[in-house]
Chains A and B, each alone.
Chain A
């Protein structure tokens, strides 16, 4: 899976993101570090912020395209 495909899914889920990063950590298309900073996270617990990201990537997480996902989120006030 290409990082760009992950980015597209995140852009669709978080249209208001001020920062959106996807890094293929191993160059193998299955270990990703994603960073999302968005006003949509404001007031949400870290757990709920990560739940939103997991939901946005539910399809590739579910079918095994993503083997490892590291998430960093920031709520913008």
Chain B
């Protein structure tokens, strides 16, 4: 079984758009996670979400990988975009739309899915 760190890196590298958040799209547990998710869905991005709440180690490992201390964290094609504030600023400026269109193409899935990590 892969380590927690490997699982997190896998999501970041393999998912078109990854959102590490508190809760799930169906039950968001934090206003900032909700802001980031809404910004991503507003530009028609597919979003793969990971709930960091089930174990504190998820957040610790993620922070070590990304160098970003807070939740949520948004990645597009493996690149850290930022937290809720940056994602909203980029939505307002049109840069989020451009970034997602450039990275994923206009003809893309807009599915929102949840990945659960295995913590031993």
Contact = CB atoms under 8 A, between A and B. Distances in A.
Interface of A: 46-47, 50-51, 54, 58, 61-62, 68-72
B83 to A, nearest CB: 7
B70 interface: yes
Interface stretch (B12-20, B38-46, B85-93, B100-108): B85-93
Contact of B67 (A51, A61, A68, A71): A51
Given A54-B69, A58-B69, 11 more contacts: A46-B82, A46-B89, A47-B86, A50-B82, A50-B85, A50-B86, A61-B70, A62-B69, A71-B83, A71-B85, A72-B85
Interface residues of B, number: 16
A61 B81 CA distance: 20
A35 B70 CA distance: 17
A4 B30 CA distance: 25
Given A58-B69, A62-B69, A68-B32, A50 B83 contact: yes
A14 to B, nearest CB: 17
Nearest to A62: B69
Contacts of A54: 68-70
12 contacts: A46-B82, A46-B90, A47-B81, A50-B83, A50-B85, A51-B68, A54-B69, A58-B69, A68-B31, A68-B70, A70-B85, A71-B83
A6 to B, nearest CB: 14
